[in-house]
Structure 1
Amino acid sequence: MSIDSLNAPTAAAPGDSPVSREKVRQRRWKLPISLAVATVLVWIMAFPFGRHGVSTYRLSDRTSSVNLGDIGVPTWAAVIVCALLLALMTAYAFWAVSTYRRIGLWLPVVYALLAVFAFLTWSAAGGLVPVTGLLFGALSLSVPLVFGALGGVLGERAGVVNVAIEAQFLLAAFSSAVVASVTGSYVAGLLAAMLAGALVASVLAAFAIKYLVDQVIVGVVLNVLITGLTSFLHGAVLNPNAEALNSPPRFPRWPIPFLSDIPVIGPVIFNQTLIVYVMYITVPLVAWGLYKTRWGLRLRAVGEHPQAADTVGIKVNPTRFWNVLLAGAIAGIGGAYFTLGSVGSFDKEMTGGLGFIALAAVIFGGWDPVRATLAALLFGFTTNLETLLTNLGSPIPSEFMAMLPYVVTILAVVGFAGQVRGPAAAGKPYIKG
C-alpha cells in the first residue's frame, strides 16, 4: 500500500448507481439565503434610506506617477443598478442550489465587490473616497491576519487546532521589538519573531500531542498566559528602558521599479515592506506545498486519517509536531508586522484579538490557504472601511461602525462556512495501536 493510495477515490459499492448517488446529494441553502439578506439590505439603502448627490472616487494619490483624476458617480442611480445586479445574482444562486449545480467561487467574490461598491457609494454621497488609500490600508491591516490564517490552516491540516494564534502574535511582537532594538536589525527581529511563534507552538504541540490535553483548552490557556506575561514585561522591563529595548527599526518600503507605477494597484501592491513581499511568496508556496508535494500529502494524511497514514509508514505524531512548529513560525511573522512594519514599538495587548479573527478566516476559508487569505483580506478591508466611513461622516452610528469587522466575521462564518468540513482528525489526539 503506497501513500498515494490515501488520495485514491473510494470504489463504488454494489448497486451504487448514478440514481442512488443523486439521491444523497443535498441542497445547501446557506449561501443563497445569506445573499438574499444582503440584497434586501442594499434595497433598503436604495429606497427608504436613499441618498442623492455625487460620490467621488479618487484613483490617484500624491505618490502616483500617473494622475487619473477623480470619477464622480451618481449616488442613487449607482446603488439602484447594484441592487438590481445583486438581486439577479441571488436569484441565480437559488436556481443553482435548487438544481444541484455547484456555485463557483466567482459568485460570492463578484457579489461582495458589487455590494461593497454600493455601500461605499451610498455612504460617500457628497464625499470623496480615496481608492488607493483605502486599498493600501486594507492590505496593511490584512498582513498579520494572512500569516495567522496560514499558521492556522497548517496546524489544523496536521490535526492540531491552533487556538493559540493570538499568543503567537503577542510573543512574536514582543520578541521582535526587543531583539530588533538591541541589534538594530529588523531582519534579526523577524527571525526572533519566528522563533517566538514556534516556541508557543511547541508548547501547544507538546501538551496536545504527547500529553493528550484538550487542544482548545491548551490554546486558551496559552493566550491568557502570554497576554499576562507580555503585559507584565512591558510594564516592568520595556517601559523603563524604552530607548534601548522598545525602539526597533521599522521595515522600509521597497518600491518595485515599473510595477509600483501601475495606476491604482501599483502603489498598493508593489510599494511595500519586506514582510508584505514575504507574504506574496508564502501564500502560493504553502498552497503549492500542501497540494502538490509529498510533504503536503503526508501533512493532510495525518490530519484526515492518521490510522491510514500510520499504516503506510508515516510517523503521525512527529509529523504533527514539526508542522505545528512550522505553523507557529509563520504566525510569528504576522506578529513581527505589528512592531516592525506597523506601529514601530510594542504595547501590551496590541494585537487586539486579531488572532481569533485569523482563526475565523481559517474556518471561513475552508481550511484552504488561498481561500483563508481571501477571507483575511476581507476582514482587513472591513476594518479599514470602518475608519474611512467614520471620516466620511456616514449616517451609520459610530458604535455600529466599530462593530463592523466583527459583524462581518460572524456573518461570514455563519453564512458561508457552514458549507465546508474541517480536517476529520483535527482536535483528536492519535494513540498508536
Structure 2
Amino acid sequence: MTTDKRDDRLTARGGSVQGTVQVAGDKSISHRAIMIGALADGVTRVEGFLAGEDCLATLAAFRSMGVRIEGPDAGRVTIHGVGREGLRAPEAPLDMGNSGTSMRLLAGLLAAQPFPSELTGDESLRRRPMGRVVSPLTSMGGQVAALGEEGRPPLRISPVGSLKGINYELPVASAQVKSAILLAGLYADGETCVTEPAPTRDHTERMLSAFGYPVRREGSRACLQGGARVQAADLSIPGDLSSAAFFLVAAAMVPGSDLLLEGVGINPTRRGALDILLAMGAHIELQNERTHGGEPVADLRVRGGELRGIEIPSHLVPLAIDEFPAIFVAAAAAEGRTVLRDAAELRVKESDRIQTMADGLQALGIAAVPLEDGLVIDGGPISGGRVDAHGDHRVAMAFAVASIAASGPISISGAAAIRTSFPDFLEVARAVGLRIEAENE
C-alpha cells in the first residue's frame, strides 16, 4: 500500500467546537467483522463499516483468499462467508499496510490454514515487534516465522497438520495477541484459554458470541473449544471511541464548547479515556444508552470547562492505550501536572508515541518529560508551531485538535496516515467548527 503524500501536512488554526456529529465506525470491530464474517456459514451484512486504509487492508486480504465481499458502500458491507474450511491460498504476500491489528489477528487465523502464506506491510508496520504473537502460536504447534530483525515482519506462515489448544497467560495485556490466539483456537484440538494481566478490549469474544460461537468468560480468562461452526449475522458497528476521543478533548478544553457525538461505542474494555477525562474534570454526559450487536452504545455530550492534571491510574492504562495522544493534549491544556506510567506499549505503536508526543508538545511550549514507560506533562499555555507526527495517524489528529487551545497555528507534517483510521476526520472536524487545512487544498 502506498500513501498519498499530497495531504501529508496539515495546518490547524483553532476555531470552535459546537454541534452534533457522528464519528467513523469502530476500527477494531470493523476488522473483526470481516474476519469472522468470512469464516461464517452464510451471508453477513454489516452497517457502519470503517472504510479506512487499515480495515480495507483486512478486506483486501480476504478477497485474496477467495471471499466475495460487496462494498464498502456508505458503510455497508456484505460478506459471503466461505465457512471455516473455505479460505484459499493467496497468490501473493498479503499486504497489511499500516495495520498491526490486521497482521497480528491474521497471523492467528492463518496459522491454522492448510496453505502457506506471508504477511507484510509498510515501512512503519515492518518496524513493529511480532514476537508476542509468534510465541504463543508456536506453542500451539503453528509454524510462524518473523523474517525481519528482532522478530519483526514480514511473517511467513507454513501449514501444519493441526493446532492444539493451550492455556496461555499473556505477559503483557494485549487485545491483539489475545485475539490471535482465540482465532487460532477456532481450529485447534481441545480448548484454548487466554488469561490477561489486565483487562483489554473484548470485541473478539463479543463478536464470536454474536456469530453463534460459544466463548466462556471467567474474569480475566477467555476460553473457547475448537471445532464449532460460525453462523452468519447482521451487524451494526458503533462509532469509534478512539476517533471520538479527539473531539471529546477538543470540546472539553475550551469553555463554552458544547458538542454531541452520536452513537459511540462505550464498551467497558475501551472506555478508559472517558474515565481519565472525567477524572480530569471534563463535563461528559452519556445519553440514550443502548446495545448494538452485543456492544454498548451511547450519545456523548461534552461541554467545555477547566481541566486539571492527574496521576493516571495504572488500571486505566490498557483501557485507553490508543487514546493517549489525545489525552496528552488534554493534559497540556490542564492546570497542573499529569503523570502517566505503566504505558511502555506506547513506544511500539505506529510511532514511539511517548517520544513523538513529547517532542511535539515541547515544540508547542509545553513542559513534557518522557519516561521509559510514560510521560510527565505540566499544563500551560499552548503556542503555535511546527510538529512532526512521524506518519502516526493518532498523533497527527491529536495535534490538529490541540489548535483549539493554541495561541497560533499548528503545522503538522507526517499527517497523511490519518486515512488509515479516520478518513473523514477533516470533514468532521470542520463540521464542528475546527479550522484545519491540508497542504494540497
Is the TM value for this pair above 0.5? Answer: no
Which of the pair is proportionally richer in helix?
A: 1
Does 1 or 2 have the higher relative contact order (CA < 8 Å, sep 6+)?
Answer: 1
Q: Which protein shows a greater Rg?
A: 1
